[in-house]
Amino acid sequence: MATSAAERAAVQRALALAASDGVPLGPNPRVGCVLLDAAGRTVGEGFHRGAGTAHAEVDALRRAGEAARGATAVVTLEPCDHTGRTGPCTQALLAAGVRRVVVAQRDPNPVAAGGADTLRAAGVEVELLDGELAAQARALNAAWTFAVERGRPLVTWKVATTLDGRSAAADGTSRWISGAASRRDVHRMRGLADAVVVGTGTVLADDPQLTVRDADDRPTAVQPLRVVVGLRDLPATARVLDDAAETVHLRTRDPHEVLAALRARDRQHVFLEGGAHLAAAFVRAGLVDELVVYTAPVLLGAGTPAVADLGITTIGAALRPRVTDVTVLEGGDVRTTAALEPTGAAQEREA
């Protein structure tokens, strides 16, 4: 049975529910569910509000009550088929008498996957979407999906640089290379991650607080984990050690060890902020997935490069990120967003 117009509209509604204000970005995926009767009318809807709360399907079923019997459940993520903090959504759907389930994204988590097969085996009609609606569902939980599939957090590297590629002047000063609009945007970007990572050198040189603040410079309610990487001790007075957010000091220089430690803490999206040597280590290890570069209309001619030696000695070996967005911010800074694919991936994609 092909997806109806009412079901496609319900997918969009379920995606909007999943992204409701206040729903955390992790560690659980954001999920929405809409229940339709035989005429395509909504009889219940729900969404997951975070770890330990009712899943979207259960939330919608409770709101629908007896109207759920014979209904179609439209969900943004395949119903789970395991018992965790809550029971399996497959069994809740079967107990409610749902006759059809439309799934926008298959669950990539092997622990929870298999819901579609379980429902089919019980006689429920299941349709797995592809195309644009499936892409939207995947984008809803991009970092969570990446972390589940790759076994490590998604890494976004942020750097602020001058037109000639400097992150600091020759005397070490760098405040401020980028403008106020860029700095506000960085706080927005930090708020999309669940871990902000810098090296000990950045802490010792700049003493950043690494919190997320709103447009009025007030700390937001939810703060990412602050992560300092490196072997050197930090002074007790370092702002990154204050009580504004949780902080962990990982005494290693190995990016693989950093990501393994953060994955063990259920972190899915790392916002890598510096400095040049730490960023280069992640790039050399092939562990940077996305770049966000704020380029200020400034020329220095000398100073600290935005990234340290990458071991590239010839133009043929240059890394060529795939630009996905270019935006001119208020004040003249340019934000460039690009995907950094593993070596050879771009050539294979174009072949």
Q: Please report the pLDDT score of residue 280 as a whole number.
A: 95
What number does CATH give the domain 152-350?
Answer: 3.40.430.10
- SS3 sequence of the chain: CCCCHHHHHHHHHHHHHHCCCCCCCCCCCCCEEEEECCCCCEEEEEECCCCCCCCHHHHHHHHHHHHHCCCEEEECCCCCCCCCCCCCHHHHHHHHCCCEEEECCCCCCCCCCCHHHHHHHCCCEEEECCHHHHHHHHHHCHHHHHHHHHCCCEEEEEEEEECCCEEECCCCCCCCCCCHHHHHHHHHHHCCCCEEEEEHHHHHHHCCCCCCECCCCCECCCCCEEEEECCCCCCCCCHHHCCCCCEEEECCCCHHHHHHHHHHCCCCEEEEEECHHHHHHHHHCCCCCEEEEEEECCCCCCCEECCCCCCCCCHHHCCCCEEEEEEECCCCCEEEEEECCCCCHHHHHHC
Q: How far is CA 46 from CA 32, 54, 59, 72, 192, in A?
A: 6, 9, 5, 14, 23
Q: Is 187 annotated as a binding residue?
A: no
Q: Please report the pLDDT score of residue 326 as a whole number.
A: 97
Residues involved in catalysis: 57
Token output for 16: 């909007």
Mean pLDDT of each 10-residue bin along the chain, 351 residues long? 90 97 90 97 96 94 97 97 84 97 94 91 96 96 96 96 91 82 94 96 92 90 95 96 97 97 96 92 96 95 92 93 96 95 46 40
Q: Please report the pLDDT score of residue 105 as a whole number.
A: 97
Token output for 25: 């970005």
Q: Please report the pLDDT score of residue 63 as a whole number.
A: 97
Q: Is 225 annotated as a binding residue?
A: no
* Model confidence pLDDT, tens digit, residues 30-84: 999 999 999 999 999 999 999 889 999 999 999 999 999 999 999 999 999 987 7
CATH 3.40.430.10 domain extents, the chain: 152-350
Token output for 97: 């008498």
Q: Please report the pLDDT score of residue 341 as a whole number.
A: 79
Q: Is 276 annotated as a binding residue?
A: yes
Pick the CATH number of 5-145 from 3.40.50.1580, 3.40.50.720, 3.40.140.10, 3.40.50.300: 3.40.140.10
* Model confidence pLDDT, tens digit, residues 298-309: 999 999 899 999
Q: Is 160 annotated as a binding residue?
A: yes
Q: Is 273 annotated as a binding residue?
A: yes
CATH 3.40.140.10 domain extents, the chain: 5-145
Q: Is 33 annotated as a binding residue?
A: no
Q: Is 129 annotated as a binding residue?
A: no
